[in-house]
Structures are given as C-alpha cells and as structure tokens.
Amino acid sequence: MTQTEMDLQKEAQHITRSDLRNVAIIAHVDHGKTTLVDGLLKQSHIFRENQQVGELIMDSNDQERERGITILAKNTAVEYKGIKINIIDTPGHADFGGEVERVLNMADGCLLLVDASEGPMPQTRFVLQKALELDLQPIVVINKIDRKDARIDQVLEWTQDLFLELATSDKHLDFPVLYAIGRDGVAMYHPDDERVNLEPLFETIVNKIPAPKVQTDAPLQMLVAALDYDDYKGKYAIGRIVRGKVKANSSVARINRDGVVSTQKVNQIFVYKGLQRQEVSEAQAGDIVALTGIADANIGETIAHIDHPEALPAIAISEPTLKMTFAVNTSPFAGREGKFQTSRQLRARLYRELETNVSLRVEDGNSPDEFIVSGRGELHLSVLIETLRREGYEFQVSRPEVITREDEKGHLLEPFEMLVIDTRDEYIGVLTEALAPRKAQLSNMVSDGLGNVRLEYKIPTRGLIGFRNTFLTLTKGNGAMSSLLLDFEPWIGKIGTTRMGVLIASETGTAMTYGLNNAQQRGDTFIEPGTPVYEGMIVGLNSRPADLVVNVCKEKKQTNVRSSTAEIQVRLTPPILMSLEQSLDFINNDELVEVTPQTIRLRKRYLTQQERSKRERE
C-alpha cells in the first residue's frame, strides 16, 4: 500500500450503517433454513397479497427442488421497520461447503439453525467454525420444536458445548437463543410463549446483529463472492462493498488472483429486494450488490477504485477430496441422444464450470478425450453430472477415487471423515458389521432411551464410497447419515469392500423376456424387456463373485408342437432401477457409467470378452 493510499484510508471516517443488516443463515442439511427464509419473505410483505409464491421460494434450481436440498448460496433482502436485512441462504450439505465459505464474508452475523431433535450435526460444526473465524455475531434458532421427538433442553446443551469448543473470543459465547417452527412461520423467545409470527426473530436480528461499520469516503473495494448470468445483461459480479462507493457507468479496476490489474466499466448496479434485483445509480460500503459490465470477473477477485487498485485477501476454499474421470462417450450407442458429444465441447463446459463452482478442480487427463474432475464428495460431483446431462451433454464417468497427498517425509496421506449416523438401535449390529471392513472406528455412541441412537465414526473417505446404498438397505430407510472432512492422515491400507460380479450382455440388440428370464436364474437384472443393449453393457448383478456374460437378447425358439404349458406367460421379477448416485456407488474400477440426456447405463470399460481377457492377462 502506498503512502497516498494509507493517508486516504486514515482520512476516511468510519460510519455506522444503522439502516442495514447483513445476515447469513447456516445449518446442517434439512434443518429448515430455506423454509424459514420463506417465512421471513412472506411476513415482510415483499409479495402482493394475491401473489402465488409457493414453498421453498429460494430453491429455484430444478435439482434443488427434486433433491430437497439447497445447492447454491443465494441472496435476498427484506425490510423491517425501515431497516433493510440482506439474507444469504447457504447450502447445508458438506459437499457444497465451498458455497458457504465464499459467501460468509458478505455477512456481519449469522442465524445458526439447529433441529430440535437431531441437534448439532457435522455440517453445523463446519459452518459455525467458519462463521466464528470470520467473527460473525451468532443467533441460535432451535427449529422444529413441534416434533414429537423434540428434546429442546438437550439440544441447547449440545449447542452450548459446540460453542465452547469452537469460540475464538468470549463474545461468541454470548448469543441469543430463539425457538421456532419454520413451517408455521413462528418464532418465540421461550418454547412456551404464544406462537404468533416471526416478529421475535426480526427484532433479534435488528438488535443483535451489528450494523456495518464502513468507510464510504475511502477508495472502492469489493470482493467478488458469487457470479450470475443472464442472456440480456451478461455476467453479474456479486459481492459486498467493503469500503467506498460505486456508481453506474463508472470505470473501476479489476484485480485478478495473480494481482494483474485491468480497467473495466460498471454498466449497471443492482441491489436485492425480495427475490428481485433493483437497479440503483449508486451503492456504498456495506451494501450487497450485483454489478454488470465486468465480463471477465471471477470469484475471489477484487473490484477497486481505478486510481487506487488495492486487492483484498482472496477467499480460502477447502481442497477437494474425490476425483473422477469424465470422458467422451465411446459406447456403440454414442451420439443417439446428446447435443454435445465431442471432447472440445465437454472440455469447454467443464472449464466454464470453474468460474462459479469454486470447490471444483478440472485438469486434462491422459488422453485428449479424458478430463480429471475433482470435488468435495460424491453428491458434489453427481450434481455436476446431472446438470451437464440436462444441458444435453453425453459422456462417460469412472468410479470416484480419493485424492491423496504426501507429507514432508514422503508418506502417503488420505482424507478421513467424521461419519454421523442416526438410526434405530436394532440396526447397530448390521451397521457395525458393514463398517468394520471399511476401517471405520467408533468414537461415540449416544442413545435417547427411546430406541434411537447416534453413532459417530472416524472413517477414511475411501470407506464411504458406495456405503450410502448399503446403509439405506441395512436400515430399511430408517436412518440418516452425514459426514464431514476431518484431515489427511497416513494411508490405512486395503479396504475390504467387495461386491458380487455383474451380468454382462453378450451381444447388441433388444432385451427379450426369454433372455431376461434366463439371466434372472443367475442374479438380479437392471433392465426391462424392450431395452436396447450392447455387448459389454452391464445388465444385472450376479449372485456369485465372478462376472458372467449372458445373452439377454435371446428369444424362445418357435415350434409347431403345442404343449399344455405353452400359453403360460413368463413372469419376470421387476428390475432394480438405479439412480445416478447409486450407479456411481455401484461400479468398480474396470467399469463406467454412460450418461446421456435420457439414459444412464452401466458398462464395462472394455466391451468385448476378448479385450477384457487380454487386459486381465497383462
């Protein structure tokens, strides 16, 4: 910083923006963040009386609505007694922690939602730790207090213990606690208070979240925390103005991550009002804004005063833990469904994703048709795959692998995670049996005395690959699991997770009832009669450890002799239909998932029996 810049900063006076509050809502997945934001929006009279807005207003992405989770952090704003409250809704799943990390620096305080039954979960710990590191003022909201299994006092005690563990200063321990039923749009100072509306929450935000203290006369500084795009205005650079002011149609300096400065022009300035962006001619420090005109802006870059280009510290994002190979589709059915099939199109789209998906890493693979994509977990990568698929891309992906490191002495390190399972105590035995070969170590077990139990394990990330399907099967759907990255530790050795062999189609054609009936004598099938298949496609799971080639296209021979049973139809067992995540969990290293806009197929990496035998001998 030059002497002139230092003098300018000293001269600029700090003022308190008492008309503004910036607050992030953070919690574990499914603890009710988005539903609570719905209530805040509706009760702030942002919408017209007759306007139909529905539920989960902030989850505008199709996948968010289908999966019932928040994937992308989003901004909105409400007004309460003349004070504007900017609200940042963040994802609750650990795989999208990068979204949380990049947007928390726009807030001065946070609402920490905790489920009245489940209590603090792994992601609660992660997001709270990030918030306290940024010195955000917390407000704890114990949500869903109307649940039959709510244990409010116990959950409050657990939350206080978590704060004691993570707090970096005494003021972090002085946090207000509210009780809420987000679905009903009510909040109370005490669980027994009358349940009227969210007024207590609005009051607490205004009184407890600090108003931004800013320098409006200092040179402009803004960190780009998010990007958006539309066909009319192009790219939006979204962030909070740290100091100074910005005016429409003015020139600014853009400082990229390498410190290179370029001159850009801000065309329009938008602030948030409800779900809409409202154009303004000027914005000042403390405001969360979306700027258009800066076409090359990327997350983590600084927008600064053109005469005083001073960069802000870049956002630190945790590194990925899983990687998989994306490649051009090489199956016999390639090109039938997708609009984008070439390596050039796939490469351009993956690298374009890096602009907004800050936790993702992409690098070129061993061949021109392959790309190594690294992310924070299976869900993070599967959401990307599903997004590309819906956009019309056709490609194939490999089994997820963990990303390893080496320490100073050259020892191999792998990621370890904390796995938390909530289930019924009758499933403890089968879960322990399933987790033992995956090298999971039980660190804590808590029972509520009513048949519910929480199990906490330390487990290598490798051991979690493919475990979700096993978990749902073993607990018959009576359970929830979540995990959080702990650290990289020494490689733990071979993990004994084995799967039975698969049934492989022997020829290209259409699956017939007769052929599938024969295949079902040897295992479970994944396809129905009439499904097009090709040689090397996986059509079922064998009941034995070895792979087996079967002819599912075989028809029953026609004869001119009628038997007494000729009219009896063959009855097939319904096929096992697997989702994208289940397919990624299922495959082995010598198998691939073929992804097209209409179909997900499992296949062997090498399609012919001759080629597979040759590879085994090598």
Residues 36-91 pLDDT 10s: 877 777 776 654 444 444 444 444 455 544 555 555 556 788 888 888 888 887 76
Same-domain status, 243 and 104? no
Identify the residue whose tokens are 């940024």: 134
Residue 242 lies inside a defined structural domain of this protein: yes
Q: How many CB atoms lie within 10 A of CB 251?
A: 13
Same-domain status, 25 and 58? yes
DSSP H helices, 15-149, are 33-43, 62-67, 97-103, 122-133
Same-domain status, 417 and 467? yes
pLDDT value at position 4?
Answer: 52
Identify the residue whose tokens are 């299994």: 149
Q: Please give the annotated binding residues for GTP, written as ranges.
A: 30-35, 143-146
282: part of which helix (H) or strand (E)?
Answer: strand 282-284
195 close to 181: Cβ distance less than 8 angstroms: yes
Residue 525 lies inside a defined structural domain of this protein: yes
Cα torsion 281, 287, 291, 294 to 10°: value is 120
The residues pairing with 540 across neighbouring beta strands, listed in sequence order, are 503, 525
DSSP code for 332: T
Domain count for the chain: 4
- Any idea what the Cα angle at residue 517 is, between residues 511 and 518, rounded to 5°? 95
Residues 189-238: tens digit of each pLDDT:
888 888 888 888 888 988 888 888 888 888 888 888 877 777 778 788 88
Q: Would you give the distance in Å from CA 120 to the centre of its chain?
A: 19
Q: Can you tell me the distance from the alpha carbon of 120 to that of 407, in angstroms, rounded to the nearest whole number?
A: 33
Residue 330 lies inside a defined structural domain of this protein: no
Same-domain status, 204 and 220? no
Q: Can you tell me the distance from the alpha carbon of 129 to that of 120, in angstroms, rounded to the nearest whole number?
A: 12
In which domain, by residue range, is 532 found?
Answer: 502-617
- Any idea what the Cα angle at residue 390 is, between residues 384 and 392, rounded to 5°? 110
CATH number where 69 lies:
3.40.50.300
Q: Look at residues 161, 178, 211 and tell me which one is the last residue of a structural domain.
A: 211
Please state the pTM of the whole predicted model: 0.77
Q: Can you tell me the distance from the alpha carbon of 147 to that of 143, in angstroms, rounded to the nearest whole number?
A: 9
Q: Can you tell me the distance from the alpha carbon of 342 to that of 372, in angstroms, rounded to the nearest whole number?
A: 16
CATH number where 556 lies:
2.40.50.250
Side-chain-facing half-sphere of 128: CA atoms under 13 Å: 28
Same-domain status, 47 and 142? yes
Same-domain status, 194 and 261? no
Same-domain status, 179 and 230? no
Residue 326 lies inside a defined structural domain of this protein: no
Same-domain status, 111 and 33? yes
479 close to 423: Cβ distance less than 8 angstroms: yes
Residue 380 lies inside a defined structural domain of this protein: no
Left if phi > 0, otherwise alpha if psi is -120 to 50, otherwise beta: which for 32?
left
Same-domain status, 461 and 557? no
pLDDT value at position 537?
Answer: 93
Q: Look at residues 172, 192, 211 and tell me which one is the last residue of a structural domain.
A: 211
576 close to 526: Cβ distance less than 8 angstroms: yes
Which residues make Cβ contacts (< 8 Å) with residue 280, sequence separation at least 6?
A: 248, 269, 270, 271
Buried b / exposed e across 293-324, counting CB within 10 Å, b at 16+?
A: bbeebbbbbbbbbbebbbbbeebebeebbbbb
Q: Is 584 helix (H, G, I), strand (E, B) or coil?
A: helix
CATH number where 248 lies:
2.40.30.10
Residues 469-493: tens digit of each pLDDT:
788 888 887 877 878 788 888 988 8
Same-domain status, 30 and 161? yes
Q: Can you tell me the distance from the alpha carbon of 18 to that of 211, in angstroms, rounded to the nearest whole number?
A: 5
Residue 288 lies inside a defined structural domain of this protein: yes
Summarize the chain as % helix, strand, coil (round to 5). Answer: 25, 35, 40
Buried b / exposed e across 40-63, counting CB within 10 Å, b at 16+?
A: bbbbbebeeeeeeeeeebbbeeee
Q: Among candidates 378, 465, 456, which has minimal Cα distance to 422?
A: 456
Secondary structure E strands in 65-212: 74-80, 83-89, 109-115, 137-143, 177-181, 186-188
Residue 439 lies inside a defined structural domain of this protein: yes
The residues pairing with 290 across neighbouring beta strands, listed in sequence order, are 238, 270
Q: Look at residues 463, 490, 517 and tell me which one is the last residue of a structural domain.
A: 490
Same-domain status, 192 and 229? no
Identify the residue whose tokens are 């002819």: 551
Question: Is 191 buried (19+), middle (13-18) or exposed (0-12) by CB count in 10 A?
Answer: middle
Same-domain status, 412 and 285? no
Amino acid letter at 265? Answer: K
Q: Please give the annotated binding residues, written as ranges.
A: 30-35, 143-146
Low-confidence spans in the chain with pLDDT less than 50: 1, 8-11, 47-60, 64-65, 564, 566-568
